[in-house]
Structure 1
Amino acid sequence: MLTIVPYESKYTQNFKELNLAWITEYFIVEEKDRELLDNCESSIIKKGGYIFIGLWNNEPVGCFSLLKITKFNFELGKMAVSKSHQGLKIGQELLVFAIDFARNKNWNKLLLYSSTKLDTALHIYKKLGFKEVPLENNIIYLRSDIKMELKL
């Protein structure tokens, strides 16, 4: 069973490792990845964002972050589920939690950047109401070829 808890510094390495696993499987680790993963407290939390960890029997197996863009708009990022726990709908539970959290904060929208290589992730995003929107020209990640948003 999954329990979703707010980030604590004891989860720093889990957050980093969960994300590096999927990034290195499909892509290359980029400068922005290093910034967010090596210094998640200063680059996410202290800038008004949030990180949550998914625990399966008290073991960290998933995570996501909400990066502050404006007071009412946040970016869903660094969402990961360990390979050993995929197929258990953990990603979907994390995303539902993120959406509920954002609605409870009265935010206007969540947006995300992804890659069309990540079929399973895109399926879950669409299933939960995210819509594709035009991608800017100056995107941060080389791997990002799709932008989606959910109006709350």
Structure 2
Amino acid sequence: MNDIKQIEIIPFNPKYAKDFADLNVAWLEKYFVVEPHDVELLERCEETIINKGGYIFFAKIGSAIAGTFSLIKMQEGIYELGKMAVSPEFQGKKIGQQLMTFCIDFAKKQHWNKLVLYSNTKLENAIYIYKKYGFVEIELEKDSPYLRSNIKMEFAL
């Protein structure tokens, strides 16, 4: 088993676009369903996230992509933390927490105002991690981009 210290967080590369989609479809199908908005973001991630001022990062261990997350530009200085996923074979190794630390540090270096995320309280481990890192629950708008969302959180930078 790879030592977790060998984790490398790398920026988007088109050769990993399929990993981005596959990691996210796996957890979406396990807990929910893949919604049209997910399909748009996952199947055309370069067009819908990167080219619109967003970012995608990957946790790489050896040659394997172990996890991912995206920062989707909502407006100037406000980004949605979305599409965070860790491969089942790498879960329980604190990769999600390393991705979260990297995400917050990256956002601070960009001098953004805040990060926003949409989730579901059914994902207890994820909600726990978000709160641990300082995200607080805010009101969920009626026209949330995801049908599965029943919680919205933000992190003021």
User: For this structure pair, what is the TM-score category when the shorter chain's length is used for normalisation?
Assistant: over 0.9
**Matching residue within 129, 135, 140 for 2:145:** 140
CA distance in 2, matches of 1:103, 1:70: 16
Q: What is residue 91 of structure 2 aligned with on the other side?
A: 86
Q: What is residue 16 of structure 1 aligned with on the other side?
A: 21
SS at match of 2:27: helix
How many residue pairs match? The answer is: 152
What are structure 2's unaligned runs of at least 5 residues?
Answer: 1-5
Q: What is residue 30 of structure 1 aligned with on the other side?
A: 35
Q: What is residue 130 of structure 1 aligned with on the other side?
A: 135
**Matching residue within 47, 67, 73 for 1:68:** 73
Letter of the aligned partner of 2:147 in structure 1? L
CA distance in 2, matches of 1:118, 1:150: 18
Q: What is residue 3 of structure 2 aligned with on the other side?
A: none
Q: Which of structure 1's runs of 4+ aligned residues deviate more than 4 A?
A: none
Letter of the aligned partner of 1:79 in structure 2? M
1:83-116 Cα shifts (integer Å, max 9, x gaps): 1100000000001100000000000000100000
SS at match of 2:146: coil
Percent identical across equivalent pairs? 53
SS at match of 1:66: strand
Alpha-carbon offset, residue 58 of structure 1: 2.7
TM-score by length of 1: 0.99
TM-score by length of 2: 0.96
SS at match of 2:23: helix
Letter of the aligned partner of 1:66 in structure 2? L
1:10-66 Cα shifts (integer Å, max 9, x gaps): 001100000000000000110000000000000000000000011012310100000
Q: What is residue 48 of structure 1 aligned with on the other side?
A: 53
Alpha-carbon offset, residue 140 of structure 1: 1.4
What are structure 1's unaligned runs of at least 5 residues?
Answer: none
CA RMSD of aligned residues (A): 0.6
Q: What is residue 62 of structure 2 aligned with on the other side?
A: 57
SS at match of 1:91: helix
CA distance in 1, matches of 2:121, 2:35: 18
**Matching residue within 76, 82, 93 for 1:77:** 82
Q: What is residue 101 of structure 1 aligned with on the other side?
A: 106
